[in-house]
Structure 1
């Protein structure tokens, strides 16, 4: 049962246990457990150090170490820090390609990874052995997060403001003010938590932090975003300060602790839909070797089926895969303390055999019934690259969905397109036409104007076309239909009129996002006018193009103050702007009730113009029959428009006017004319009744 490189016995072994998965410390040493359904025997390989090309010992396991689909062994004398991996000796009846059995395999459940200094992706592709160039798992602790000392903030959805950022890109800039030793790391991000808190953000959504292969990219470029997972358990090496005494998991825990202490939640953007192993010509690193047809969707001829655009698609309908994903989520939630997950291309996880969509996908059923995951925020993209799009009937009750319709319709309206006011109406009500539960649609919709995937907000109003040549794909990559506009000049300009309208439009888009029912998400740097030079797919731009800006000369400080003000207003009036149950446009039957309702207007009271030519809309939120407490006017026309105003409970106070150059510098003021108001071209105005505006006075 035991063979080692020098032929001598080194470690005493025991049968071990199939649970827990991965590695766990025992009284005698370390227990190892891994799923490999079709293997007849398996080798556990132990290394003395992370860069060793020859193993310290090789432990061969026969079927006495197998329980069901799981292989397990307890090795005496080992402890935390041990480097290990697996190999499955050639079994032609199981593996049709010998390259699968020659490869050193990374434990899919390893919570830390070593060997990055010698790792060579190309050696994992060819048919030769890669023991000298492989990644290794590291035996690590599995202690639980200290929620007693650092409890989850648990913000309700209607008081949640999400800020999407890239861990490395947020502090990598030389002007970030973060010590050079921790730039681009979890510890570096801690330095900027005060900035995030000052904006009014309640949750940060981190682009992938699972260990990923940054060499999974075209020659001369690096995979920057991280949508190329090499593990679902280990933190990415590039986000770790290697000079710190804390290990990778402790550094991430420290980030979560600081966020919780500042009342900020952490949501992870997780990539369970595919892996870095790609298709037929991709490397064999982990999942392929342990169970190619177990973890991936395969066709009748054994080909990889792909609805992710990355060469493979994870078969989340398979029990072993479901179990592995659940274990990963528990690891990050209960051991490392995260507060939620956003599933990249999440609807692909609902596909069954041969990619057929399932009405009751086992993964989401398992997630929603798991008590260890019951208090987490769950978000998903409702689409995949195979054409499946389920936003109204996403097959999970607790999962909120990215609302791409919100993004597109708000962009089109402010651009001045025709046929935009009617769909805008639905977005301003929480998108009830899109979701099945129309009364609570706003509690399901993640609203956004921009995200990592596409133009930044500033580029959205500065470019008509994408400019992705630096990505090395001749500008073929990236979305072609962006609903963007440049106002006469492509890119940067010194034309003051164009600069003014671009600035105003950024504020219009922000205000519409923040004051619409639903859960708003803001892209990193949009609040200061960050540009990517027209690149709308910066996945491989680990340079200033894809980083946060911290130079005051490049920041729009007035825009940042505007964003802070809108977030503050929303939080003060969360029950009005984002009620738990959508407002209706039906007046309450009883005049004695304090129930609020929504009334639509145009330039004339109670006369909204839903025509194809219309680019204006107004609405008030009224308290029973007592009068209006909020009025919002949106004018996307290329000329000024005068709006009639409804009768307020107490006199109107103007708190937001994007048509005023000094809006953020001016104090809220009573309107001299309470009956009508002129809105500048391309402007957004928010009025609040004087009684309610008192709430805003700090």
Structure 2
């Protein structure tokens, strides 16, 4: 007996699609949303292709099956609505494995690359299972798509909505964070393993984890072989709607969906937000020599930017460029972001090589492209953080000019200027002051605020903090590219010996410099981002491009938590201080003026001699005072920083107008633990005469 109840599709991508009512003996199925949507009596499949002449669904029972047990042919007369191919297949359930397969023209010079033998990953697949299978017939057999049941008991979980100005970001790799802790973690290298390490994240004090790519990417090569250089970082997406199966505990198809949600829920319960690093600039299909996995075999000329001869524009440096400002591709990205926000409660996104989103369909840079505006204005994303890596591999560098409004940016200028200052470069004192105070030169003109500057010293791409103060040359031989890969200009120093050393003076200096860099980062206006492991001085042995190192070189070494406990204690104290003190994380730009007569200016700059800084003759050393003026909270404290990157001891004279305040030492990076930091900022008082001899390469912080 047919029910006359109007069935309702599950919510997908933030939109709920209602099905038409049944009419006598016929059931009508709406052709959207895209993907494989589970219904009570079966599964509705929908995929876009303008130029396909035929479409099939290949159904599999097991991930090991090389051939489908059933092929569903779509009828162009009844199963095609415009350029959307859609069919309802009764009897299918959650866990069903499938591929699409499309016929059409193979005319690469015209941009079309249909292959009737190719097994295609659904662009909207919400989970993949298995892996690429070995091939003797030239057919690429990629992981299977999985029909997913989206029900999950979130137990009232919602976005945390921590203001960006109060955020401390911790960039981490899901697998790498726990894989090196196999003795301590039951589910090492997985989403569930991250849950086991949440107590560590809480004790560190960070407020958000920024996960390196977790969208599905290849583990094996398209013919089932383990590649010589493993894709550890994951910047080769092939299914934007699916959590990576390689970070799943166990091998049940689709179970990564549940496990990822459990991880997000647990992090939220601990007060930690989840930001995703998303790669909407290229895919795993590569250039004209690469495999056909999905987009090439469905509508190559729409999903990619092409040259006139049908070859691929390559603004990503990875062989192809996703055509993000084509309406179809733009719609997919838009639905994808909503999918992660609604179905996974994700709190924000960091857009890899985001300048590509500023390129029109011809590849030309233009202001406020539709994609950039959609992301900023979409109401479902209104509570999320949106962060741009404001450059690409084709020379675009838009730090400070990527967009307006809500967009924050990785501040590459901050990274370079702070590194150069502490290395002791000349003529960078003014730049250091600008970066400490929020980079107004980059963000104020566009109406943005200091917290739109994502400040960082290191990231996954480059040296670790330990290596930044231990190596002057990159050492990437393990990548098997003859050390040609990776950046040659790192603004680093080894302080006398390249790499590890037992020379006590160099070891102490490196630790001091690591503390100087970390303290500068955490006490700068803007939003700080720390790389996982920097707080315990993790090393990659001088490798500044460890994209292919899925091993101990890249994994978090948990022995360092005890071995480098001094650095960890220092970081925990400075993070806690930052979170407690609005003085060092104002939400508006500093003015250099007092809020009212008799107050200190909100920021003051002095030379080591105690005079107001003359920027035309600035010395390397610097006194900076962030005052409480205008802050209507009793917890605010005045903060005075003494920065000395020079190679010899320096006398500092505190100005008389500051000596009337009861300053107490918070930290001194030149002192040995435990006197290097006083977590309650209750260290020794400032000498009455206000005169201090400051050790070379060191930083002091006083609080009043």
In structure 2, the partner of 1:618 is 623
SS in 2 for 1:304: coil
- For the 8 Å contact 1:145–1:334, the answer to whether it is kept is no
In structure 2, the partner of 1:38 is 51
Which of 679, 682, 685 does residue 697 from structure 2 map onto?
682
Counterpart Cα distance in 1 of 2:153 and 2:81? 30
In structure 2, the partner of 1:630 is 639
Give matches, 1:122-521, under 5 Å: 128-130=138-140, 133-143=141-151, 146=154, 149-174=156-181, 177-179=184-186, 182-215=187-220, 219-242=227-250, 247-437=255-445, 440-521=448-529
Q: How many residues align?
A: 665
User: Per-residue displacement from partner, 1:603-657 (whole Å, max 9, x unpaired)?
Assistant: 1224325357721111213355999922111001111112221325631101111
In structure 2, the partner of 1:599 is 604
User: Per-residue displacement from partner, 1:539-563 (whole Å, max 9, x unpaired)?
Assistant: 1111110010111487311000000
Which of 84, 99, 113 does residue 128 from structure 2 map onto?
113
Give matches, 1:650-669, under 5 Å: 650-662=661-673, 663-664=675-676, 668-669=683-684
In structure 2, the partner of 1:696 is none
Root-mean-square deviation over aligned CA pairs: 2.5
Counterpart Cα distance in 2 of 1:521 and 1:371? 26
Cα displacement (A) at 1:194 = 0.6
In structure 2, the partner of 1:70 is 84
Counterpart Cα distance in 1 of 2:348 and 2:367? 24
- For the 8 Å contact 1:15–1:74, the answer to whether it is kept is no
Cα displacement (A) at 1:396 = 4.7
Structure 2: gaps of 5 or more residues: 1-24
- For the 8 Å contact 1:16–1:65, the answer to whether it is kept is no
Whether 2:532 is the aligned partner of 1:524: answer yes
- For the 8 Å contact 1:421–1:611, the answer to whether it is kept is no
Counterpart Cα distance in 1 of 2:645 and 2:343? 49
User: Per-residue displacement from partner, 1:557-611 (whole Å, max 9, x unpaired)?
Assistant: 10000000111111111x21011111111234x327x685111101122432535
Cα displacement (A) at 1:88 = 1.1
Q: Against the structure 1 CA distance between its residues 300 and 546, is the aligned structure 2 distance closer, same or farther, given a 3 Å change threshold?
A: same
Counterpart Cα distance in 1 of 2:226 and 2:516? 38
Cα displacement (A) at 1:101 = 3.1
SS in 2 for 1:545: coil
Cα displacement (A) at 1:223 = 0.8
Q: Against the structure 1 CA distance between its residues 389 and 448, is the aligned structure 2 distance closer, same or farther, given a 3 Å change threshold?
A: same
Counterpart Cα distance in 1 of 2:692 and 2:630? 22
SS in 2 for 1:353: coil
Cα displacement (A) at 1:323 = 1.0
Greater mean alpha carbon deviation, residues 355-364 or residues 673-682: 673-682
In structure 1, the partner of 2:98 is 84
- For the 8 Å contact 1:13–1:74, the answer to whether it is kept is no
Give matches, 1:641-652, under 5 Å: 641-646=650-655, 647-648=658-659, 650-652=661-663
Counterpart Cα distance in 2 of 1:153 and 1:96? 44
Counterpart Cα distance in 1 of 2:28 and 2:446? 55
Q: Against the structure 1 CA distance between its residues 293 and 603, is the aligned structure 2 distance closer, same or farther, given a 3 Å change threshold?
A: same
Greater mean alpha carbon deviation, residues 461-470 or residues 648-657: 648-657
- For the 8 Å contact 1:17–1:74, the answer to whether it is kept is no
Counterpart Cα distance in 1 of 2:637 and 2:648? 27
Q: Against the structure 1 CA distance between its residues 323 and 47, is the aligned structure 2 distance closer, same or farther, given a 3 Å change threshold?
A: same
SS in 1 for 2:487: coil
In structure 2, the partner of 1:47 is 60
Q: Which portions of structure 1, spanning 4 or more consecutive aligned residues, are displaced by more than 6 angstroms?
A: 12-15, 93-99, 625-628
Counterpart Cα distance in 1 of 2:517 and 2:375? 35
Cα displacement (A) at 1:74 = 0.7
Counterpart Cα distance in 1 of 2:654 and 2:575? 25
Cα displacement (A) at 1:364 = 1.9
Counterpart Cα distance in 2 of 1:601 and 1:229? 50
SS in 2 for 1:363: helix
- For the 8 Å contact 1:17–1:73, the answer to whether it is kept is no
Cα displacement (A) at 1:244 = 7.3
SS in 1 for 2:546: coil
Counterpart Cα distance in 1 of 2:81 and 2:350? 33
Greater mean alpha carbon deviation, residues 58-67 or residues 29-38: 58-67
Cα displacement (A) at 1:370 = 2.1
Counterpart Cα distance in 1 of 2:533 and 2:378? 36
Cα displacement (A) at 1:674 = 4.8
User: Per-residue displacement from partner, 1:645-694 (whole Å, max 9, x unpaired)?
Assistant: 132563110111112123346662212335222221111111111xxxxx
- For the 8 Å contact 2:670–2:676, the answer to whether it is kept is no
Counterpart Cα distance in 1 of 2:677 and 2:172? 28
SS in 2 for 1:58: strand
Counterpart Cα distance in 2 of 1:498 and 1:415? 14
- For the 8 Å contact 2:607–2:618, the answer to whether it is kept is no
In structure 1, the partner of 2:8 is none
SS in 1 for 2:553: helix
- For the 8 Å contact 2:53–2:104, the answer to whether it is kept is no
- For the 8 Å contact 2:107–2:113, the answer to whether it is kept is no
Cα displacement (A) at 1:32 = 0.6
Counterpart Cα distance in 1 of 2:207 and 2:48? 39
Counterpart Cα distance in 2 of 1:140 and 1:613? 62
Counterpart Cα distance in 1 of 2:49 and 2:254? 33
Q: Against the structure 1 CA distance between its residues 263 and 361, is the aligned structure 2 distance closer, same or farther, given a 3 Å change threshold?
A: same
Q: Against the structure 1 CA distance between its residues 218 and 582, is the aligned structure 2 distance closer, same or farther, given a 3 Å change threshold?
A: farther
Counterpart Cα distance in 2 of 1:430 and 1:88? 52
SS in 2 for 1:355: coil
In structure 1, the partner of 2:15 is none
- For the 8 Å contact 2:450–2:587, the answer to whether it is kept is yes
Which of 16, 22, 25 does residue 38 from structure 2 map onto?
25
Structure 1: gaps of 5 or more residues: 1-11, 690-698
